[in-house]
Structure 1
Amino acid sequence: MHHNTQGGAAEQPSVFMSQNIEAYPMEFTGSGGEYFRVWIVNVLLGIVTLGFYTPWARRRTAMYFYGHSLVAHSPLEFTAQQRKMVLGFVLLALISIAYQIAAKTGQDLAVGLMLLAGAALAPYLWASAMRFRLGATRWKGLRLQFSASWKEVYLASWPVFALALVWFGVFFGMQILSPELAQALDGPAASGAPKVKPQFTAPMGTLLGLGLLLSILCFIRLEYNYKSLLVLRARLGNEHGRWKPVYTDFVKVWLATVAVFIACVLVVWLAVTALAGGSIAMLLMSKGAGKGNIFWIIVIAIVGVIGFFFLLLLASAPARAYREARMFQLLWNNIGVSQIARFKCNLRAGRFVRLRLKNMVLTLLTLGFYRPFARVSEYRMKLESVTLHIKGGADQVAGVLVRQQEGGLGDALADAAGLDLIG
């Protein structure tokens, strides 16, 4: 049963209610070889210009993937103005440089003010980026729009401020539980005063664990709030998005992801322990306990530690791919456009994880040159797993929506930021 929280979209009866539903599987017509030419030019020019080519590279990448993504047999279009993307990139670069200078020169007050300003402006920057992204997307002459008000954006951003309060409480709670820690934070002890080393106690560990748990829940809630707001306030003509997932759906995906990550870490731990233990045992048996042997044991230990952390990083890849696939499937199976259209997704997490692992191995073996082929294959698998179901057919619906479409004057200020998150 459809319910609409947007007010304006539900005031008039939909003209598509009695139409037959037609299914349109999405298609991707690009190839790894074609995108490799785009990618290699972007990489080379990015190196030559010391990164200043980034906004042009992002636009070329977005235009390639949009232009080869067919929705109901018609390609998407990326119409963002290059000037706005360059201005956004320069603005973010200047802010980053100012922060680095303040941090390295010991200007603690400036750094603190910048961090507070960043937290306060984060919702504004996110909403501006979404307005820019959707406003730059066209399909059959239709422009997507993000119509959320600033009040709605900041209300949805409450987990950001809750996270700050959580760690404010953890910081002061730690000082209450450990006076020695508070003394150490206040500054060096007076001359002659005994120095007491802070002790980490069980209550402190409990408080820290609680802070981490609440932080994870805040991150999940923020992701849920932002994705739901983006869908519900996305607009085609006068038709708004439709959203069905609930917060617990996101929590379940995250819990399953944590389970996959723990399993991968255990496998890596067992493999590294077996290999390292076997290598040291063979070395001891073959050479005895001489000084040279101790040197090789130290070398093996250092290499083992470095290798372990590298493998631990790789161990997170299956969990990240699993979460990406599960979240993609959850969203595209539960969103639609008013009463006009809905999506269905048949992406399988296991297939996507295997593809990601294969791509990682080939990318490492080719020193990164397989990356564009990997990206195309993953994008293709996700896009072509989605089928769009439209009432009345794509051409009829597009024609009605074009007549509903309003001008984008209200987005002019947000677009001026030129923030781009694509590519």
Structure 2
Amino acid sequence: MNYISTAQGAPVESRLEQFHFTGKAGEYFGVWIVNVVLTILTLGIYSAWAKVRRERYFHGSTFLAGSSFEYHASPKQILIGRIIVFALFLAYNLIVTIFPLTAVVFLPLFLIAMPWFIVRGLRFNARVTSYRNVRFDFVGGYWGAFKAIFLASLVAVMSLGIMAPFASRWAWRYILDNLRYGGRPFDSDPRLGDLYRQWLLPAALTVLGFGLILVPAVLYRDAAIVLLAKNVAPDHIIGAYYAAIYGCLIALGLIYVVAGLLYRAGVHNVVLNATVLDGHHRFVSHLGRGRYAWIAITNFLATILTLGLARPWAAVRVARFIAAAAAIQVRGPLEDYLSTVSDTGTAVGSEFMEMEGISLGI
């Protein structure tokens, strides 16, 4: 424990509070297997209850300063949200199937609506989460999401990833600056230089891997063309050529995944280390990038090799690793915060984000 001087010179008690995840793979396996079986037996209807049970387990197993987080969404909220989203997608597919040209109209409408769904999802997820009986909230608006998430993603893609740190900074500043805890604001101002330092290794890995794979592929193609011109075992050459192409594509995919994991872990650290709650409580993160990538890849392989049975172990493993790498430098008591959020809203935006695979958690 140490002390930090205020502007008036009076020392303020400061202490580092570590996050802890106490969940166990065996415990969560029991929750998970029941969720899977009942979801199958009810043709997916139970998935709303499954999500609530899953979120309550992980929230309740995440501790800070001796208290755990809580998840307050009801299965009914989740189910209604999923029904609405499913109905919208079903209507879209039916209309496009019957009138294909309407896809030209629906695409821009979908892109325009997407930021609204994202905002609603962020707000819902924040408002159903609490810590020490104090609710979180999200106060961001549509245009902020449109610029910080939609336009930022477009800039990153159009620049072939070169502007990815700009996009990351833009998006996370919007999300965290609009997050509230008991009405108290979060503030995040990650330095662009720090984000680019985290970007360099993944970018270099991608370029180097692309070059190492592309050059042999081109040479093999040229050799295959020469041999085909001489009519030397054409069937074998064509088969080997396509096998080589597919092998190169798989290798490129693996390189891209590793680079993405390294970048994600780096951004996680930079963003959290630049985040402050209510101007006093600073977050700390020291997530190992290589270790994070290794855990993510081995989790995926274990899940595939066990036909999904290792999924609970993988989920608990990554949650424990991320929590162990995070802390908050607390100044003063956390108990002073009071809840200002009472309406949890609807789950439509949240379920849209889940169905679309949009993940905005750091």
Say yes or no: TM over 0.5.
yes
**Paired amino acid for 2:14:** I
* Correspondence 1:356 to 2:296: yes
Closer/same/farther in 2, CA of residues 360 and 407 from structure 1, 3 Å limit: closer
What's the offset of the Cα at 1:138? 0.9
- Label 1:266 to 1:53 Cα distance change in 2 as closer, same or farther (>3 A): farther
CA distance in 2, matches of 1:51, 1:250: 41
| Partner-residue secondary structure (3-state), 1:347 | coil
Q: Within 1, Cα distance between the matches of 2:213 and 2:315?
A: 26
C-alpha contact (below 8 Å) 1:87/1:417 kept by paired residues:
yes
1:70 corresponds to 2:63: yes
- The CA distance in 2 between the partners of 1:157 and 1:221, in whole Å, is 15
In structure 1, what residue type is equivalent to 2:325?
Answer: S
Q: State the 1:249 CA deviation.
A: 4.4
Q: Does the CA contact (< 8 Å) of 1:163 and 1:215 recur in 2?
A: no
| Letter paired with 2:12 | Q
How far 1:229 sits from its partner (Å)?
2.1
Does residue 385 (structure 1) correspond to residue 321 (structure 2)? The answer is no
Instruction: Give the counterpart letter for 2:348 in structure 1.
Output: A
Q: Which amino acid in 2 is paired with 1:141?
A: N
Query: Quick one: which amino acid aligns to residue 132 of structure 2?
Result: K
| Cα separation, 2, equivalents of 1:55 and 1:273 | 50
Structure 1 counterpart of 2:107: 115
Q: Which moved more, 1:226-235 or 1:139-148?
A: 226-235
1:408 is matched with: 342
Deviation at 1:362, TM superposition (A): 2.9
Which residue of structure 2 lines up, in the alignment, with residue 131 of structure 1? 123
Q: Which amino acid aligns with 1:116?
A: P
* TM, length-normalised to structure 2: 0.79
Q: Cα distance 1:263–1:69, how it changes in 2: closer, same or farther (>3 A)?
A: farther
* Residue 419 of structure 1 pairs with residue 341 of structure 2: no
Q: Output the aligned Cα RMSD.
A: 3.6
Q: Which runs of 5 or more residues in structure 1 are unaligned?
A: 1-12, 167-209
2:158 counterpart residue number = 213
Q: Which has the higher contact order (CA 8 A, sep 6+)?
A: 1
Give the gaps of 5 or more residues in structure 2: 1-5
**Counterpart-to-counterpart distance in 2, 1:234 and 1:128:** 13
Question: How many pairs are equivalent?
Answer: 341
Any idea what the Cα deviations from partners look like across 1:198-235, whole Å, max 9, x if unmatched?
A: xxxxxxxxxxxx99534757776554333212212212
Residue matched to 1:100: 93
Following the alignment from structure 1 to structure 2, what is the Cα–Cα distance between the partners of residues 48 and 269?
A: 48
Partner deviation per Cα, 1:335-394 (whole Å, 9 max, x = no partner): 0211331111111112212223333333343333323322221221111101112112xx
Aligned partners of 1:66 and 1:77 also within 8 Å: yes
Residue 188 of structure 1: aligned partner: none
Question: In 2, Cα distance between the equivalents of 1:359 and 1:272?
Answer: 30
How far residue 94 of structure 1 moved from its aligned partner, in angstroms, is: 1.6
Cα contact 2:123–2:137 (8 A) shared by 1: yes
The C-alpha deviation readout for 1:299-352, integer Å capped at 9, x for no partner, is 444444334333332232211210121111111111021133111111111221
Cα deviation 1:119-176 (Å, max 9, x = unaligned): 222222111111101101011111011123x3xx404523677589x9xxxxxxxxxx
In structure 2, how many angstroms separate the alpha carbons of the residues matched to 1:229 and 1:88?
Answer: 24
1:72–1:388 contact (8 Å) kept in structure 2: no
Whether 2:62 is the aligned partner of 1:31: answer no
Q: Which has the larger Rg?
A: 1
Worse overlay, 42-51 or 123-132: 42-51
One-letter amino acid of the counterpart of residue 144, structure 1: F
Residues 1:90 and 2:83 are matched in the alignment? yes
What amino acid is the match of 1:69?
T
Instruction: Tell whether the 8 Å contact from 2:283 to 2:328 is kept in structure 1 after alignment.
Output: yes
Name the structure with the higher strand share: 2
Pairwise mapping of residues 158-307 of structure 1 onto structure 2 (< 5 A)?
A: 158=147, 213-214=158-159, 216=161, 221=166, 223-247=168-192, 249-266=194-211, 294-307=234-247
* TM-score normalized with structure 1 length: 0.69
Amino acid aligned to 1:111: A
Picking from 35, 46, 54, the partner of 1:42 is 35
When structure 1 is superposed on structure 2, of 57-66 and 155-164 the one drifting more is 155-164
1:397 is matched with 334
Instruction: Letter of the 1:31 partner, please give it.
Output: K
Contact 2:217 2:245 in 1 (8 A): no
